[in-house]
Amino acid sequence: MDKALLEQVITIAQQAGEAILEVYQRSEGMDIQTKQDDSPVTAADLAAHAIMEPALAALLDGVPVLSEESKLPPFDVRGQWQSYWIIDPLDGTKEFIKRNGEFTVNIALVEDGIPVMGVVHVPVLNITYAGGRDLGAFKIADGTRTAISSRKLAQHIDSGKPVEVVASRSHGADAVDALMNRIQGALGPVDTKNMGSSLKLCLVAEGAADLYPRLALTSEWDTAAAQAVVEAAGGIVVDDKFQLMRYNTKEDILNPFFYVIGDPSYDWKPLLLG
């Protein structure tokens, strides 16, 4: 994987973040519209898309860009793609509208169904998570770059600290509560953190959480970038059959339920699948 390419992708994500902040800081409003699937879209989503799509298309010859804000090609077309960019120009639009800062810019390069490079930029915090195959993972905070890695569960528990689980504020709460009870019975105290957008995966990647169970629907552009960062940091993302999560394998682009695991050496499977 190419370090120079990753740096170019980071720059594109940060430029999109600047465009998002311009809308976020407006006093006159965000120009909120509703898409056909009843999800919101704002001027910020569209401004970021307008920056990202042409810039990424120019990076690699013949590699298409799949964006949440563009028309989804039929599967008989995109199923032929060996490599493609998948982007969410503004992941967490609802969080953006609430003005809580928990939204991101997501860019991933997918090869043969595997996210091999990813950048997740957090505009409000000026933080960027990035990583790729054979490149490791790192975090850029206010210009300072630090290597990140997921943490070992046994060492964390042995030090007397609770298992830390990150979860969505509003999706799949009952199923997550049942899972928390199983984890507590097996591993002891559990602390939960609630957060929006792909930031949840990034917390696992940087060793600030042990597990993120997503027991509700998401789309592939919501997760591919952060999955690449998690895997570059030493973690894994598995589906509800405990298989590594893969992309562009079917007509729709909905993900199965999934689990983001910081320490793959721990036998999570019987605990998570009950």
Sign of the CA dihedral running 87, 93, 99, 103: negative
Phi, psi angles (nearest 5°) of residue 123: -60, -45
- Taken in order 144, 11, 51, 49, the sign of the CA dihedral is negative
HSE-up of 50 (CA within 13 Å, CB side)? 9
Let me know: does 267 contact 187? Beta carbons within 8 Å: no
- Residue given tokens 């609802």 in the structure block: 94
Is 28 assigned to a binding site? no
Give the start-end residues of each E strand in the chain: 33-34, 40-41, 65-67, 83-91, 104-111, 114-122, 127-132, 136-141, 144-148, 163-167, 190-194, 211-214, 236-239, 258-261
Give the Cα separation of 41 and 38 in Å (integer).
Answer: 9
Q: Exposure string (b/e) for 5-34, b if CB count within 10 Å is 16 or more? A: ebebbbebbbbbbebbeebbeeeeebeeee
Question: Does the annotation flag 68 for ligand binding?
Answer: yes
Is 37 annotated in a binding site? The answer is no
* 92 annotated as belonging to a binding site for a ligand: yes
Q: What span, in angstroms and rounded, lies between the C-alpha atoms of 123 and 248?
A: 28
Kindly list the distances between the CA atom of residue 241 and the CA atoms of 26, 113, 191, 228, 272, in Å, as whole numbers in the listed order: 45, 17, 25, 20, 10
Q: How far apart are CA 78 and CA 4, in angstroms?
A: 26
Report whether 191 belongs to an annotated binding site.
no
112 is in an annotated binding site: no
95 is in an annotated binding site: no
Annotated binding site for Mg(2+): 68, 88, 90-91, 222
Annotated binding site for substrate: 68, 90-93, 222
Annotated binding site: 68, 88, 90-93, 222
